[in-house]
Structure 1
Amino acid sequence: MRERNAAILEKAKLYENEFIKSISKDEKPSFHLCAPIGWINDPNGFSTFNDEYHLFYQYYPYDTIWGPMHWGHSKTKDFIKWEQLPVALAPDEDYDMEGCFSGSAIEDDGKHIIMYTGVLDKTNEEGKRILRQTQCIAIGDGINYEKLDCNPVITNEMLPEGSSLEDFRDPKIWKDGNEFYTVVASRSKDGSGQILMYKSRDLRNWEYVTIVDKSENKIGRMWECPDFFKLDENYILVISPQEVKADKNGFHNGNNTAYIIGKYDKNNNNFTREKYSVIDYGLDFYAPQTFEAKDGRRIMVGWMHSWENRIVPHDFKWCGMMTIPRELTIKDGFLIQNPIREIENYYKNTVEYNDLSIEKEISLEGINGRAIDITLDIDASKSEEFQIKVAKNEEYETLISYNPRKSIVTFDRSYSGKYGDTLHRRDISVKENDGKIKLRLIIDKYSVEIFINDGEHVMTSTFYTPLNATDITFSSQGLTLANIKKHDIIV
């Protein structure tokens, strides 16, 4: 049995190693982690180990669509340059035969500890299908990982009464003192999401602690991919709600991401919710995960894709990217996100324009390309609308616009070159400021992450326009004053 199981993982490693070579480096993003081959989704195991940063991800190397989940693996020293490592986990045990689903990792006592969801799907002797999700542990050295012989360590018998046996996944592990803790996504007896907490002293024996928070069918239904951490004096619960109905607070239909800020009483295991909000307002952002870096920064990364809107070209041999890692802070009770500061080490060919008066559509010498960091300070108080077009040529363009009258920022990829009738446009309402706004765009070949007003809001979206579309233009309906600074990102 053990030899058969080892063969499943070895097959994935050999396949990955052989076929990665079939994809040119030029076809992939310059500084965002993406699928080495095949498909990736949720980021997993974002952690420090041996003074390097590791990121795992849900992975199916054999096709560019979702399949039985493995764990892919990469590492970095600066969050910009990523080194590909061998596949870490494969679905090769009875308890994870249908997939090694999402989870997390920590470093402890010189070991790299992975906690993940194992999925069992089988038919019993009576012909009844049995689908179960349980929590499992694997321990490794940064390259090779061995699953515990006592897996699964958290089973369905440890769920609150009435909870779903089939929706119980995505453990996020941390250590506090001598005890390990984890929060796990679950579906309660009313059919909506709840986040459960467990604790252990030895990783093998776990006990149920509490329900941290629950949806009660008010913030979507099932909550996926929880994260729970302290930031300044606040505790933050990150969730990825499914089955959401759009509302005027920024939630859109379908899968969303949200954060809940509150207070946590450790002695009584009680989390008190104070407010909640959307994390990212773009078309392609899901399942974020955070960790605390060596210098104390809380850093988050998300999956830069959408379950509902697949726009990756059919001839690509890879599918799925991660966002640029983001530094998280709290300001006035809200979560602030900004690109990892290490990106500044890769700035080249800086171009700056100050006190520009923009009315008709213009291009600016030195401002173009598909791997750039560009910041715009805009005063559009005398304008009806200000527009930026990126990834542009005579045939294609992707549009970012600001309407100062309605205080709305819009992303629109309708003319980016995708033939399918998928969702192409999304709006976000920003605070009124007499027509003034600051926009920072991180563009990397097939994506743009828009950081608004120093990270108060973020919109993340992808577009797969041919790479020869590199022009950038600016235009205004009425007069807009602007300061613009651009850096090429050369990795």
Structure 2
Amino acid sequence: MYFNGVYHLFYQYNPKGAVWGNIVWAHSVSTDLINWIPLEPAIFPTKPFDKYGCWSGSATILPGNKPVILYTGIVDGNQTQVQNYAVPANISDPYLQEWVKPDNNPLIVPEAGVNKTAFRDPTTAWLGRDGLWRILIGGRRKNRGISFLYRSKDFVKWTKAKHAIHTSAGTGNWECPDFYPVSKQGVNGLDTSVLGENVKHVLKVSLDATRFEYYTLGTYFPEKDRYIPDNTSADNWKGLRYDYGNFYASKSFFDPSKSRRILWGWANESDTAEDDIKKGWAGIQLIPRTITLDPNGKQLLQWPVEELESLRGKNVHLSNQQLKSGDLLEITGVTPAQADVEVTFSFPSLDKAEPFDPSWRNLDAQDVCSKRGPFVQGGLGPFGLLTLASEDLKENTPVFFRIFKDSDKHVILMCSDATRSSLKDNLYRPSFAGFVDVDLTDKKLSLRSLIDHSVVESFGAGGKTCISSRVYPTIAIYDKAHLYAFNNGTEVVTIETLDAWTMNSPKMN
């Protein structure tokens, strides 16, 4: 949340070790979203209503500029989940370091018929025109994902609506729901309570069964408290995702200081618990992103917050550089293990786009990428960046595009392929991928990759498709890492412009 000039990040944390357990709400603060100061945990188990853990939730700023946190507590060994609240002990403390959990907790308990072990993660509240506050709580009924709706006049006494705001069959337990408006006009973010004709709503859920998220865009009907997704994307596991890689339990908030909505996503480790213990930590917050509605109205666009550019150091610029079939161009002059790279590729024609196999239409992008990887020659592509590469190329994490022709349209595939990212064993190394919904009239595709030692965050076509990969090179580390642009398609590709920056280190926890 943003409060009185300070950004507050609360996150699930184990103060007693690098593996899961003993979960509290850790607390860090920043004035620029980049440099962070760790504080003492804000919420930790001390009461019967959170004896078995203080789990995910959200913050809401109430009228009178009063922040309140809603969070899930577990009250017994049977995993019964309830919703609690906490308020600052001293509102004049600029860092809000101490939080109080009043004795009238819990505010919400699962009623009869609600799965009490799948009843968690309250959202930021929004205020309706009728003066009632509303929140969503994630859950499931058998294998149907549910967002329960609760209403309150005073933020203390909450009543469950007769109908859930939305459900979807076959999606399993919904964790960490997020529900917020986006503007149909312009790029400004909206406060969570904004309603109106020029607004669409986003419902995002984290899928406990698959450990990835999906979202839909749609219409919220306040008088009925129902959300109806548009029919432009699937309302299930095949739906739109913020990120097609290592990205989960995300949360957005409205930043009034710059009129923007900011998204935080978490990336867990892809190596083993033993490795986590050796490191002494596990899991990272990815770079915060702004969220806007794509002008096509069918999806969201995401982009790293502008403050990230304050870390940019030495710059390398290239332009009008041709990449013929098989070319590998090294980008020198920056630190490849910690860099920000923006590149625009162009191509003279779409004629060499390879046919899209009809049998792939029921596959997701990751399956297609595993069949047509970065070193399988195509027509138009694969082309892109080879990040965190060793000199002998035994280790590398390619981020690339391939363009296919499928009957009367083109299919653009974006991949972040971790299969050769490390020589270590026991790693999760998929070829993460997503399709890119972009008009190729100008015969150009852009890519931005944030490379940071064990993570590569990539944004395709201005943030239409985003992929984050956790990778653990053993050779391509520090000054032994290399960065290349490549083309393994038969069609010549031109680097219209490429800018790469060495990234300086922020103040981190």
TM-score by length of 2: 0.78
Correspondences of 1:115-154 after superposition (within 5 Å): 115-122=70-77, 130-140=78-88, 141=90, 142-154=96-108
Contact kept in structure 1, 2:317 and 2:499, CA below 8 Å: yes
What amino acid maps onto 1:96 in structure 2?
A: D
Contact kept in structure 2, 1:169 and 1:186, CA below 8 Å: yes
Deviations along 1:270-295, whole A, 9 cap, x unmatched? Answer: 22221443223433101111111013
What amino acid maps onto 1:228 in structure 2?
A: F
Contact kept in structure 2, 1:311 and 1:420, CA below 8 Å: no
Match of 1:280 in 2: 242
Is 2:361 the counterpart of 1:373?
Answer: no
Q: Cα distance, 1:107 vs. partner?
A: 2.7
The 3 A distance-change label for structure 1 pair 458 and 309 is farther
Q: Cα distance, 1:414 vs. partner?
A: 2.4
The 3 A distance-change label for structure 1 pair 374 and 353 is same
TM-score by length of 1: 0.81
Is 2:495 the counterpart of 1:484?
Answer: no
Aligned with 2:8 (options 28, 40, 54): 54
Q: Cα distance, 1:259 vs. partner?
A: 1.2
Match of 1:261 in 2: 217
Contact kept in structure 2, 1:311 and 1:464, CA below 8 Å: no
Contact kept in structure 2, 1:312 and 1:464, CA below 8 Å: no
CA distance in 2, matches of 1:291, 1:120: 28
The 3 A distance-change label for structure 1 pair 309 and 425 is farther
Aligned with 1:390 (options 379, 387, 393): 387
- Gapped regions of structure 1 (runs ≥ 5): 1-46, 123-129, 244-253
CA distance in 1, matches of 2:100, 2:270: 31
Match of 2:329 in 1: 362
CA distance in 2, matches of 1:309, 1:265: 45
CA distance in 1, matches of 2:270, 2:66: 34
Aligned with 2:466 (options 451, 458, 470): 458
Contact kept in structure 2, 1:286 and 1:306, CA below 8 Å: no
CA distance in 1, matches of 2:400, 2:101: 50
Correspondences of 1:418-429 after superposition (within 5 Å): 418-429=424-435
The 3 A distance-change label for structure 1 pair 192 and 272 is same
CA distance in 1, matches of 2:126, 2:331: 51
Match of 1:35 in 2: none
CA distance in 2, matches of 1:361, 1:350: 20
Is 2:30 the counterpart of 1:65?
Answer: no
The 3 A distance-change label for structure 1 pair 407 and 191 is closer
Deviations along 1:118-150, whole A, 9 cap, x unmatched? Answer: 01223xxxxxxx331000001114110011101
CA distance in 1, matches of 2:344, 2:320: 10
Match of 1:44 in 2: none
Correspondences of 1:135-284 after superposition (within 5 Å): 135-140=83-88, 141=90, 142-157=96-111, 162-176=113-127, 178-188=131-141, 190-209=142-161, 210-217=163-170, 220-232=171-183, 233-243=199-209, 254-275=210-231, 276=233, 277-284=239-246
Match of 1:9 in 2: none
What amino acid maps onto 1:429 in structure 2?
A: F
Correspondences of 1:324-343 after superposition (within 5 Å): 324-331=287-294, 332-333=296-297, 334-343=299-308
CA distance in 2, matches of 1:309, 1:181: 40
Q: Cα distance, 1:101 vs. partner?
A: 0.7
Deviations along 1:209-261, whole A, 9 cap, x unmatched? Answer: 341100122xx211110111111110111111233xxxxxxxxxx22211121
What amino acid maps onto 1:426 in structure 2?
A: F
Q: Which moved more, 1:416-425 or 1:285-294?
A: 416-425
CA distance in 1, matches of 2:338, 2:305: 15
Contact kept in structure 2, 1:448 and 1:460, CA below 8 Å: yes
CA distance in 1, matches of 2:224, 2:419: 51
- Gapped regions of structure 2 (runs ≥ 5): 91-95, 184-198, 234-238, 353-379, 405-410
Match of 2:420 in 1: 415
What amino acid maps onto 2:165 in structure 1?
A: V
The 3 A distance-change label for structure 1 pair 438 and 310 is farther
CA distance in 2, matches of 1:302, 1:371: 20
What amino acid maps onto 2:215 in structure 1?
A: Y
- Partner secondary structure for residue 284 of structure 2: coil
Contact kept in structure 2, 1:313 and 1:464, CA below 8 Å: no
The 3 A distance-change label for structure 1 pair 356 and 143 is same
Match of 1:77 in 2: 31
CA distance in 2, matches of 1:308, 1:263: 40
The 3 A distance-change label for structure 1 pair 110 and 429 is closer
- Partner secondary structure for residue 331 of structure 2: coil
Q: Cα distance, 1:96 vs. partner?
A: 1.4
Contact kept in structure 2, 1:137 and 1:203, CA below 8 Å: no
Q: Percent identity?
A: 26
Aligned with 2:264 (options 297, 301, 307): 301
CA distance in 1, matches of 2:308, 2:390: 27
- Partner secondary structure for residue 278 of structure 1: coil
Aligned with 2:281 (options 318, 332, 343): 318
CA distance in 1, matches of 2:43, 2:402: 48
Q: Cα distance, 1:364 vs. partner?
A: 2.7
The 3 A distance-change label for structure 1 pair 175 and 431 is closer
The 3 A distance-change label for structure 1 pair 100 and 326 is same
Q: Cα distance, 1:367 vs. partner?
A: 4.0
Deviations along 1:421-467, whole A, 9 cap, x unmatched? Answer: 52432222224627631111112222111111001111111112253
Contact kept in structure 2, 1:56 and 1:71, CA below 8 Å: yes
Contact kept in structure 2, 1:114 and 1:139, CA below 8 Å: yes
Contact kept in structure 2, 1:285 and 1:306, CA below 8 Å: no
The 3 A distance-change label for structure 1 pair 486 and 258 is same
Q: Cα distance, 1:314 vs. partner?
A: 4.9
Q: Cα distance, 1:347 vs. partner?
A: 2.2
